[in-house]
Every structure is written in C-alpha cells, then in structure tokens.
Chains A and B, each alone.
Chain A
Amino acid sequence: MGSISINRLSKQFGAAKVLNDIELEIQDGEFLVLVGPSGCGKSTLINLIAGLLKQSEGAICIDETDVSDVSPGDRDIAMVFQSYALYPTMNVSQNLSFGLEMKKTPKDEIKQKVEDVSSLLKIDHLLDRKPSQLSGGQRQRVAMGRALARSPKIFLFDEPLSNLDAKLRVEMRTEIKKLHQRLGTTIVYVTHDQVEAMTLADRIVILKEGEIQQIGTPFEIYNNPVSRFVADFMGSPAMNFVECVVLNNRLIVESADNKNELSVPLNDESSLSNMDTVILGIRPEMVTEPKPGSTGPFIHHFAFDVDVIEPMGADTLAIGRWNDVEVQARISPEAGMNAEKVFELQVDTSKAVLFDPYTGARVDFKPATA
C-alpha cells in the first residue's frame, strides 16, 4: 500500500556520480528519514522517488510495480518542499484543492477534503489568503495541507522545517510525528538535522557522498554506529573520540604524568592485538560529574582541564581537555556552577565503541564485565 523498493539505484550528473548503487527497502507505513551532510545525495534520492528526476541506473518500485517510466503525477506521491512551493496566484483554498482538481475529483468531495485538512492543520481561517499574506509557519502548514488533501500512498518531505525558526521547528516536528501516527502513511523525510532524524524516524538511513552508511532504528544508530562517521554525525553534542592503545589486554589512554590514565580491561574474546591503536568513542552523557551511586568495572575517574562551560538549562556542557584531547562532558547544572579550572569527571565506558583509526570502521570489542 505504500512500500518502496529501491534497487541498485545510481544517478549521475555528467561526470559527477551523486548516488551510487543504492539498495533500500521501505516498508508500508514506515517513517523513514534520510539524513546526511550537504551534498550526500539525499535530495537527489527523494526527487528520484518522486519521479522529478530520472535515474541513470537501477529501478524504483512502489508496491512491487516498477515506476521508472511513470510520471510524477501518476505515482500517487505528495511532496512537501523546503521552500513550500505554494502557487502564488492562488489562495490557500485553491492551493489545497489543486491536486484534487487535476484528478477531476467531484466538487463536493474537494470541498469536504479542503475543510477537513484545513481544520486539522488549523489553517481554516486562512482559506482566502494568498501565500504572500501568510507567515512562514502558516505557509508550511498549507504546503503540508496540499500534500495531505491528496491522500497519497506516500508522503515525501524535503527538509520542510529548515526555513522555520527554532521554536516553530520543534512544534512542527511534533505535529508531523502526530500526523504520521494518525494516518499511518509511508513517509520518506529528508533532513540534514540529526535531531529531527532521531526524533521522527522509525528507521534512519545515513548517506555520505552518495552511498548508504547505515540503516537502522534511531536506537541502533545511536548506540551501535557502524563507523566513526555515523557515530560523529548522530548525536548532539557529538561523540568524543580519544586515541588509545591496546596493552596487555587492556585499553589504555595514556597520559604523560600517569594521572589521567584510562584503563579498560578487555575480555578474552576481543579481536584486538597487543599494541593496536584504536579510537575510543564515548558520548558526552557518559562523561559526567562523579555520581555517588556509580560503581562497577565501567566507571573510571579522571581529571579534566575545563575550557568552556555552556549551560543548556537541563544540563550543562563542559568542554575541556583531557590529555590534550578535546572532550565534551554533560554535567549537572549545579556541578557546572561550581566548576573549577580542573575538576574530576566520571567516565562510564559501558556504551563505549571502538573505531579503526585509519578506516573509521567499527571495531568489535567486549570490555570485561568483571
């Protein structure tokens, strides 16, 4: 009813290969988010799904039918654009009904649909206005309403919240999520904002330079990143990366004066050999002020040179150096207020991940549990 199958899809613009061999199965009813840095190909991919671009190689199937030769208007897909693309000479009501009129829907049905959609999105008092008379947030709602009115099989969103101010963005994010829960229609959503990706997605697809890096649920991506790029891209503030050495079955983060050493015992099944260098990845929320209740093999303490304290309200970000590596820690606001130049932090390595220093690929390791 709205499943998409993308097989060996590639897109080239002249000499530039923008998408390379993309394989992706999107389930019916899924909220799939495509995320990645600028230029990774996510907008190209969504335009290919919509049929606005023709692929260079590969196939796109919707509900098991190859749609490569089907025009965008016949694919039963609706799209919300970053710039909203509202028809400027038509009022809101005409914008909402345009797609239905193209499909020759009976007039009373169109009227009902426009009423339903506009009251759902709370734009019913704006029906006679032209787009130039609306605020950014209102335009965004009309753009969504125009897509909704068509009751398509698939919704595509191309960075719809990028042009909104921060507060509105958060509100609309929740609205979109509620909409998805209510309608159950497949949504493919493109964003460069990883917070949007985490909060909205059933599954996330991370793209880099035209290739898929990882596909997974937000939980999987966050806790089980497959590469350093993914680990660095997802999560805000970003993960800390510290170089360390394997020595005698322990992971050592060395320090000149032996005072700030981190030593993580590895169990026997680790694939690492002695004297290997690896990159240890620890998220800032695992680096906190010492918590009295925390004990166990994963808890370590070390001293930290504070550079900047950034109060964020619920907690405080402390940025500083540990053995000349920049590290970000999430500490409580109280600890942040009392911070001295050098103070002691607690590191919880239970969720730490390891990466190859040259390829960035994830290295499996199992810290000793005892």
Chain B
Amino acid sequence: MDRTQRIVSARIGRVFIYALLIFTALLYLAPLYVMIVTSLKDIEEIRSGNLLLFPLKPSLYAWQKAWSSACTGSECDGLAPFFWNSLRIVVPAVAISTFIGSINGYVFSKWQFKGSNYLFGALLLGCFIPFQVILLPMAKLLAVLGLANTVTGLVLVHIIYGIAFTTLFFRNYYIGIPTELVNAAKLDGAGFIKIYKLIFLPLSKPIFVVTIIWQFTQIWNDFLFGVVYSGSGTQPITVALNNLVNTSVGGKEYNVDMAAAIIAALPTLLVYFFAGKYFIKGLTAGAVKG
C-alpha cells in the first residue's frame, strides 16, 4: 500500500471505531434517556407519543408526586420516608462494616496467629455465598435477637455480610505495607493499637475510599435483604420503589414510576460521578513508596 492509501484506510478505520463506540454508548444510555424524558411528560403525552420524543411541556409534577405523595401500598407518602430509612440503614452499616474490615485486615496481614489463614478463608466464604441461601437462618436469628423487622436488624445483616468484602479489601491493601514498618514500631515500643492508629490508619485513605464507595453502593442498592428483613415502617427505598410501581390507583402513572426509579438510584449515581475516579485510584494505589 502506498502512503495515501494507508492514511485513507487509517482514517476510515478511525471513523468506523468512533461510530461503533458512539452507537454502543447511545444504546446503553437509551433507557436512562427514556426514563428521564418520560418522567417529565404528562400521562396523555406518554400514552399517545413516541418513547423517545422530548416532552412538549416538561413538568416536575411526577417528581413531586414520587417524592411526597405516591402510594406505596397502603400509605401514600411518596418515597421520602423510605429515602430516610435507607440513609438510616446505610450510614451505620457502611461505617461499622468498613471499620471492622479495617481492623480485620490489619490483623490478618500483620498479626498472623495459629489458624489465621483458615479463619481468613472462612471469612472469605462470605463473599461467595449466594445470599438467598442464608435468608431463613438469618430470619430465625433476628427473631431470636428480637430484631425482626427493625432497622437495627437490617443494619446487622448488612454489617455481617459486608465484613467479608471489607476484610478482603483491607487485608490485601495492608499486605502491601512492609512488615519491617511494624517491626520498627514494635521495637520503638508501640503496641497493636498504637501501630494501627499512628502508622496504618494514616496510610489507609485510598482503601477507605474504595471500601466506603463499594459498601455504600452495595447496601443502598440491596433489595433482597431489604424486602425480607424489613417491616412496614422500616423498608429501604428499593423496596418502597417496588411497592410504588406495583401500586396503581386507576391507571399506571409511568411518569411517576420513572421519577421514583431515578430518585432511588440517584445517590449511587452521584457517588459514581463524583467519587468514581477515586475508586479506581484507590484500587490501584500502593500503600507505601520508598
């Protein structure tokens, strides 16, 4: 091939690749677009119109209804109370499971004891158990503890199953911190807690970011534990969304349903937009250089 032919074929190749990428992106984003657009239309427009059409008279009616007055079963208070429920569940669950994971990771990486490898393996099983398997035993346990249908009970479940992942994250990260640092600190007279507080914790920012983002996303988006272990006043937003969509007084209000879905997904979407790059950075960060 001569030079001009090569340039032309390179250009054609590039155009083709871009076209393919743009097409795939559009395909991927199409449902989100439809959701947003539908949530801004009124029912007449939805029923008569094309899914992809931009709203003629965009209005926030559906959003207001989804947030404060849509019916989720027998109550009609919108998603707002359940949004706060989710927050009440997610914040302590993320905080506690992350903290425990950090201590566990610290112990497994630098303070091995007899049988610690087996214990770690057993803990890791928690990452791979299909959660459906433990639903019944866990329900029994919560009943015994008097925590059935409570927010505390649901938080407890999320903490327990979160610990498997958080321990893994922290342990793998802390393995990268040279053991000689721990030895130097031991010789300097520091013990278990001081070494954690003064040496490991200051080095842990990247992995805390990773773990918190991961745990937040997992727990906020969870439906299974939410639907099984919550009672009528303690349901998270994912369960409420399901109820909202399945409750129709009169005809189905698709715009409200769409708005409700986006409201439910918004926190994790925002976390991704603002903190996503820190997630990637944290996963690939080494702990100590030099």
Q: Select one of A72, A85, A102 contacting B181, CB under 8 A.
A: A85
Residues on A with C-beta less than 8 A from B284 are none
Q: Does B137 contact A (CB under 8 A)?
A: no
* Complex interface: chain A residues within 8 A of B198 (CB): 87, 98
Q: Does B250 contact A (CB under 8 A)?
A: no
Judging by beta carbons under 8 Å apart, are A85 and B290 in contact?
no
0/1 per residue, B194-210, Cβ < 8 Å to A? 10001100110000000
Flag if A83 contacts B187 (CB, 8 Å): no
A50 CB, nearest partner CB in chain B, Å:
6
B180 at the interface (CB under 8 A from A): yes
Interface residues of B in 234-261 (CB under 8 A from A): none
- Are A87 and B185 in contact (CB-based, < 8 A)? yes
Chain B: minimal CB distance from A85 (Å): 4
Q: A89 to B187, Cβ gap below 8 A?
A: no
Contact A77 B187 (CB under 8 A): yes
Considering only CB atoms, which chain B residue lies closest to A149 in the complex? B188
Asked whether any CB of chain B lies closer than 8 Å to the CB of A52, the reply is yes
A237 within 8 A of B: no
Bound complex: CA A50 to CA B187 (Å): 8
Does B180 lie within 8 Å of A81, measured CB to CB? Answer: yes
How far, in whole Å, are A73 and B181 apart by their CA atoms in the complex? 14
Q: Per DSSP, are chain B's interface residues mostly helix, strand or loop, or mixed?
A: helix
Cβ B188 vs Cβ A99 within 8 A: yes
* Max chain B C-beta neighbours (<10 A), residue from A47, A52, A71: A52
Chain B residues in 8 Å Cβ range of A139: 290
Considering only residues 156-192 of chain A, those with a C-beta below 8 Å from chain B are none
Size class of the contact patch on chain A: 20 to 34
B97 to chain A, nearest CB (A): 25
- Alpha-carbon distance between A71 and B181 when the two chains are bound, in angstroms: 16
Residue B20 is within 8 A (CB to CB) of chain A in the complex: no
Q: How far is the CA of A77 from the CA of B183 in the complex (A)?
A: 12
A52 to B110, CA, bound (A): 12
Asked if residues B188 and A88 are in contact (CB atoms below 8 Å), the reply is no
Given contacts A72-B187, A78-B187, A102-B190, contact A89 B180 (CB under 8 A): no
Q: A73-B191, A74-B189, A102-B190 are in contact. Are A81 and B184 (CB under 8 A)?
A: yes
Measured between beta carbons, the chain A residues less than 8 angstroms from B190 are 73, 98, 102
User: Which residues, 87 to 114 on A, are CB-close (under 8 Å) to B?
Assistant: 87-89, 98-99, 102-103
Q: Would you list which residues of chain A between 45 and 83 have a CB under 8 Å from chain B?
A: 47, 50-52, 71-74, 77-79, 81-83
Question: Does B289 make an interface contact (CB < 8 A)?
Answer: yes
A274 close to chain B: CB less than 8 A = no
Q: In the complex, which of the residues A73, A85, A132 contacts B180, with contact meaning CB atoms closer than 8 Å?
A: A85
Q: Are B188 and A98 within 8 A (Cβ)?
A: yes
Could you tell me the distance between the alpha carbons of A248 and B190 in the complex, rounded to whole angstroms?
69
Closest A residue by C-beta to B188? A99
CA distance A73 to B195 in the complex (A): 12
Query: Which B residues lie within 8 Å of A98 (CB)?
Result: 185, 188, 190, 198
Least distance between B272 CB and chain A CB atoms (Å): 29
Kindly provide the distance from the CB of B249 to the nearest chain A CB, expressed in whole angstroms. 59
CB distance from A144 to the nearest CB of B (A): 12
- Indicate whether A131 reaches chain B with its CB closer than 8 angstroms: yes
Top 6 A-B pairs ranked by shortest CB distance? A102-B189, A73-B189, A99-B188, A89-B202, A85-B180, A85-B184
Ordered by A's residue number, 10 sampled pairs between the chains whose C-beta atoms are within 8 Å are A73-B187, A78-B187, A79-B184, A85-B181, A87-B198, A88-B203, A89-B203, A99-B188, A146-B184, A150-B188
A residues sitting closer than 8 Å to B (CB atoms) are 47, 50-52, 71-74, 77-79, 81-83, 85-89, 98-99, 102-103, 131-132, 139, 146, 150
Q: Which residues of B contact A (CB under 8 A)?
A: 178, 180-181, 183-191, 194, 198-199, 202-203, 288-290
Q: A72-B183, A82-B180 are in contact. List 17 more A-B contacts (CB 8 A).
A: A50-B183, A71-B186, A72-B186, A73-B189, A73-B190, A79-B184, A79-B187, A85-B178, A85-B183, A87-B181, A87-B184, A89-B202, A102-B188, A102-B189, A102-B190, A132-B290, A150-B188
